């Protein structure tokens, strides 16, 4: 029997948001508080690092968690412009995204770099959301599962557990494009991810949350969230507005 896994709906604000954006988190918190039926998922917002403490305060006393979008592998040092996982934790973060395809592409992050960042997250007491996903060229070449399995093998620390680690599958060709794989395609990839996690981590792998990301929006959330082994979503643009993000969270009402 498959392990019961509580879903997580996480918003990645990317390089968007200023202090005034806290109104969206406050509005989201009010929707959660006012809902007669509470969604069967955890809710997370990952803003730019400049807003973590601001949004943490805005979400105080609510069910909305706050996370970061990246961290350095080191705890401190001469790394101008970088942010340590411990700094994110100190600012109020509970999670941190590592290995997002935009980091892998724009900053040349390898699986080894992503693994080191996940280890840093664990060291600091943060839950690491480790991203994997294939490009359109890799998909067209029939290499999707090979690429995903390789990224999982190289990016996940040996000590990863269901408490410390979340996997996010984001097909690169679907991020921000409005295109999404079919539910059958998503099921195939998520099933392969689950199998790989169980093979490596046993019972912990059976309980790890596997999120789907890539043009998730209110209109397709219910269908995508009902796919086997999809335990939530990593949401980009649709997480910037409370109304849109709530529309996705509502898939778990």
Catalytic residue chosen out of the listed positions 86, 102, 119, 170 = 170
DSSP 155-192: HS-TT--TTTEEEEE--GGGTTTS----HHHHHHHHHH
Kindly report the number of other CB atoms within 10 A of residue 163's CB atom. Answer: 11
Tell me how far apart the alpha carbons of residues 122 and 169 are, in angstroms, rounded to a whole number: 20
Catalytic residue chosen out of the listed positions 72, 100, 122, 190 = 100
- For residue 100, indicate whether it is catalytic: yes
Angle, helix 144-155 to helix 183-201, in steps of 10 degrees:
40
172, 101 contact by CB (below 8 A): yes
Tell me how far apart the alpha carbons of residues 41 and 33 are, in angstroms, rounded to a whole number: 14
E strand or H helix at 117:
helix 111-124
What residues contact residue 34 under an 8 Å CB cut-off, 6+ apart?
Answer: none
Q: What is the dihedral of CA 112, 93, 160, 197, to 10 degrees?
A: -90
Catalytic center residues: 100, 170
């Amino acid at each position: 029997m498959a392990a019961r896994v509580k879903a997580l709906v996480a918003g990645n604000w990317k390089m968007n948001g200023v202090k005034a954006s806290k109104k969206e988190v406050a509005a989201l918190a009010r929707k959660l508080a006012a809902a007669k039926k509470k969604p069967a998922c955890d809710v997370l917002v990952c803003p730019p690092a400049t807003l973590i403490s601001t949004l943490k305060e805005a979400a105080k006393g609510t069910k909305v968690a706050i996370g970061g979008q990246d961290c350095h592998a080191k705890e401190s040092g001469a790394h101008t412009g970088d942010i340590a996982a411990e700094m994110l934790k100190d600012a109020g973060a509970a999670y941190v995204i590592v290995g997002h395809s935009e980091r892998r592409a724009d900053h040349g992050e390898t699986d080894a770099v992503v693994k080191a960042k996940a280890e840093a997250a664990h060291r600091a007491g943060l839950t690491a959301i480790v991203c994997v996903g294939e490009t359109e060229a890799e998909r067209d070449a029939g290499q999707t599962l090979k690429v995903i399995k390789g990224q999982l093998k190289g990016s996940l620390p040996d000590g990863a557990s269901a408490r410390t680690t979340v996997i996010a599958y984001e097909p690169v060709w679907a991020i921000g494009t409005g295109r999404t794989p079919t539910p059958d395609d998503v099921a195939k990839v998520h099933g392969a991810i689950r199998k790989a996690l169980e093979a490596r981590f046993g019972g912990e792998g059976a309980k790890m949350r596997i999120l789907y990301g890539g043009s998730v929006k209110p209109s397709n959330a219910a269908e995508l969230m009902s796919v086997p082994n999809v335990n939530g979503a990593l949401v980009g643009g649709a997480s910037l507005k409370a109304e849109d993000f709530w529309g996705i969270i509502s898939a778990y009402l």
